[in-house]
Amino acid sequence: MKDECGICGRVMRTTYLRQCQRCKKMFCRDCMTPDVATGDPMAMLCLHCARRIVSPRTVNKYAGLESHLKFRAAFTDLVTLKFARIDGLIGSNLPMAAYRDPLWWSNTSSSAHAKAWLDAGWEVHEVNLKEGTVAFKKVRSLPRKPKRKSLEITQPFIPVPVRPLRSSKKPSNTKVSKLYARIKNLERQRNTRQPIRGMKGKSRYQKRLFKE
């Protein structure tokens, strides 16, 4: 008997898969962790469930699916997604009903999940529980966000007049290398500007390094 891990999708013997205590689906060991609350190695959680315990959701669970469909709307009218792909988009597992009951995929705005694809302007066109795929069809285009007026160009572009070089003499090597060092310093400064909280500030060596 072989089965698929619900997160990474690798197919392996069922004896290598274990059941998540929370969602009751099967996952490989790499995609599971002991329950953070109890640390019990026998009560394993899948990474999706573990994340949900550590940081409970505040927005709609299916927001990831909604934004994905909105994004795809710019390019296509028909999108077929594997259930596992939707798991990835919503950062969670689809409920068992999605795998068993075609009615779960009905286009009724009374359910939070259907509301997600309806709000994005899509409808479920066809669902294949056996293959674990669902096809969405775009039914309406969302109005584009109006551009801000301040960004509109009203005047033709007039380039700033270039001051001609007074002499044809090339800048000296010292000048060039000084400027080059200065740019490097600025780049380094920018990369290390925000120290992580709890970390030590700039060492004296670093301070000296950045001094102009």
CB of 63 to Zn ion, least distance (A): 19
Q: Work out whether 49 is an interface residue with Zn ion (CB under 5 A).
A: yes
69 near Zn ion (CB under 5 A): no
Which one, of 60, 15, 20, lies nearest residue 6 by Cα? 20
Q: Tokens at residue 169, please? A: 């003499």
The CA-atom distances, in angstroms, between 116 and each of 8, 74, 91, 109, 203 are 24, 17, 14, 8, 50
Contact between 5 and Zn ion per CB under 5 A: yes
Told to check if 23 binds Zn ion by CB under 5 A, we report yes
Figure out which of the listed residues 4, 12, 22, 111 binds Zn ion, where binding follows CB under 5 A. Answer: 22
Binding residue for Zn ion, selected from 17, 26, 31, 134, defined by CB under 5 A: 31
Helix axes 63-72, 112-119, angle to 10 degrees: 20
Close Cβ partners of 59 (under 8 Å, ≥ 6 residues apart): none
Q: How far is the CB of 133 from Zn ion (least distance, A)?
A: 20
Nearer to Zn ion, 37 or 183 (CB): 37
Q: How far is the CB of 27 from Zn ion (least distance, A)?
A: 5
| Stretch touching Zn ion by CB under 5 A, among 41-49, 67-75, 82-90, 172-180 | 41-49
Q: How far is the CB of 79 from Zn ion (least distance, A)?
A: 25
Q: Which two tokens stand for residue 97?
A: 């009903």
b (16+ CB within 10 A) / e for 156-189: eeeeeeeeeeeeeeeeeeeeeeeeeeeeeeeeee
CB of residue 6 vs Zn ion: minimum separation in angstroms?
7
Report how far Cα 158 is from the mean position of its chain's Cα atoms. 41
Q: Which parts of this chain interact with Zn ion (CB under 5 A)?
A: 5, 7-8, 20, 22-23, 28, 31, 46, 49
